[in-house]
Amino acid sequence: MNKIKMTTPIVEMQGDEMTRLIWDWIKEILIEPYVDLKTEFYDLGLVERDNTNDQVTIDASLAIKKYGVGVKCATITPNTQRMSEYNLKQMWKSPNGTIRAILDGTVFRSPILVNGITPYIPTWEKPITIARHAYGDIYKNVEAKVAKGGKAKLVVEDENGTREIEIFDYSKTAGVCMGMHNTDSSIISFAKSCFNYALETNQDVWFSSKDTISKIYDHRFKDIFNEVFENEYKEKFEKAGIEYFYTLIDDAVARVVRSNGGFIWACKNYDGDVMSDMVATAFGSLAMMTSVLVAPDGVMEFEAAHGTVTRHYYKYQKGESTSTNPIATIFAWTGAFRKRGQLDNNAELVKYADAVEKASIKTIESGYMTGDLALIFKNDAVKVVKCETKEFLTKIAENIEL
Ligand code: NAP
Ligand code: MG
């Protein structure tokens, strides 16, 4: 068989632990037999990040900006325990945080649906994609305790002069107060990323906040989304037959639960934190969630939503058999191939990406799956066979139809 040719490289970022092994197995079993793989390789494993003083993460991020498409393996975000485990020079920052800061992107998470794994909400027939604004609000807040008899004020200094606004008078009781911020430029980037990804995936966008209560702060988000949409996206959306609409967060929650799925739900930072875990759990499994970082200029970086699956890795190191689910990592690769194929007019590469995804789903639906899925899979007509990771990948390869 002639291997599929690539014209432009994908930026490939290797990672850590169990997912580092799975990464190589996916390449060996599902990619290299079919594709003449062209990547620009960066090792984002913790050892190499420490060796290069994390320069490798910055270089990889700049490469994604240059080529437009990246695919990343899960990586360790160091904590004190990792400092001693890897004898690190420094507690390096989360690679995802570094990449996000350089690309200025928004993360979109969507579940992969298969028959046999039913969402807890049975009407959810299509995936719900959560777009979480990843800057500001309570994640960059300042806060303080205030003693009884105290006062808290908000002081704003800008070209319009100095304003002092009373937050609360604590004359009767002690309490707490908080200050938070966001920026127009970050909200504009967020809005653009959401609208670009909607056009990319042909889905509606819902955006929710609490502008009836927060008449300046949340209202600014609502206004910016509206302006960006009216000025740059309205016509494109009409052409694509998709919609943008704004609603209050509590109304959005009720609508989401009643919906059939198939849309992008753009959330403010805190709402996105909470709702993404709720949606992921309700769809069944973290190992079946994909994640894509979309920059306002359309650059994309694909990965799995889960981590390096440390617990399985320690078992693997002891020689025990492991059945770690590679699906989200496979879909990170196929997402990157599809996007690369679309940018390069490489129809064969797009077709290959579709075929691997189809084969992955078919393999699970025919009963071959990893242990995490075997626990939740329900279809009386299908006999479930729990596979080790490599065995599962081989089964998928057998189902690829090009
Ligand atoms: P995790 O790697 O997502 O794993 C947590 C648990 O979820 C696993 O122990 C496993 O449960 C289950 N699980 C997750 N992915 C699975 C898969 N593909 N197949 C089967 N089961 C799966 O989270 P963690 O253990 O909290 O974090 C481990 C490391 O990953 C940390 O160093 C963290 O910094 C890093 N991390 C990286 C990213 C990223 O790069 N995007 C994201 C999150 C975490 P059972 O043990 O019950 O089987
Ligand atoms: Mg969270």
- Best residue for ligand 1 mutational test, from 80, 308, 373 (most atoms within 8 Å of Cβ): 308
Measured between alpha carbons, how far is residue 137 from residues 130, 132, 265, 296, 306 in Å? Answer: 18, 12, 18, 20, 24
Q: What is the pLDDT of residues 155-208, one digit of tens each?
A: 999 999 999 999 999 999 999 999 999 999 999 999 999 999 999 999 999 999
Q: What is the pLDDT of residues 288-303, one digit of tens each?
A: 999 999 998 889 999 9
For residue 328, the ligand 1 atom closest to its alpha carbon is 18
1-112+299-402 and 118-140+181-283 share one CATH topology?
A: yes
Task: Specify the pLDDT at position 296.
Answer: 86
pLDDT at 382 over 80: yes
Q: What value does the mean pLDDT take over residues 277-296?
A: 88
Task: Specify the pLDDT at position 139.
Answer: 86
User: Under a CB-based contact definition with an 8 Å cutoff, are residues 283 and 99 in contact?
Assistant: no
The closest ligand to the CA of 269 turns out to be 2
Task: Specify the pLDDT at position 365.
Answer: 97
pLDDT at 319 over 90: yes
Three-class SS state of 36: coil
pLDDT at 375 over 90: yes
Task: Specify the pLDDT at position 281.
Answer: 85
| Residue keyed to tokens 């990449």 | 99
Task: Specify the pLDDT at position 364.
Answer: 98
**Does the beta carbon of 349 sit less than 6 angstroms from any atom of ligand 1?**
no
Q: What value does the mean pLDDT take over residues 140-152?
A: 96
For the chain, what percent of residues have pLDDT higher than 70? 100
pLDDT at 5 over 90: yes
pLDDT at 304 over 90: yes
Tell me the CA–centroid distance for residue 306 and ligand 1, in Å.
Answer: 5
Top-level class of domain 1-112+299-402: alpha beta
Q: Domain extents for the chain?
A: 1-112+299-402, 118-140+181-283, 142-179
Q: What value does the mean pLDDT take over residues 392-400?
A: 98
Q: What is the mean pLDDT of the chain?
A: 96
d(CA 131, CA 133): 7
Q: What is the pLDDT of residues 327-350, one digit of tens each?
A: 999 999 999 999 999 999 999 999
pLDDT at 104 over 90: no
Q: At a CB cut-off of 8 Å and minimum separation 6, what does 211 contact?
A: 218, 219, 221, 222, 248
Say which CATH architecture domain 118-140+181-283 belongs to.
3-Layer(aba) Sandwich (3.40)
Task: Specify the pLDDT at position 144.
Answer: 96
Q: What value does the mean pLDDT take over residues 53-61?
A: 98
For residue 211, name the pLDDT band (cuts at 50, 70, 90).
very high
Tell me the CA–centroid distance for residue 203 and ligand 2, in Å.
Answer: 25
For residue 134, name the pLDDT band (cuts at 50, 70, 90).
confident
pLDDT at 1 over 80: no
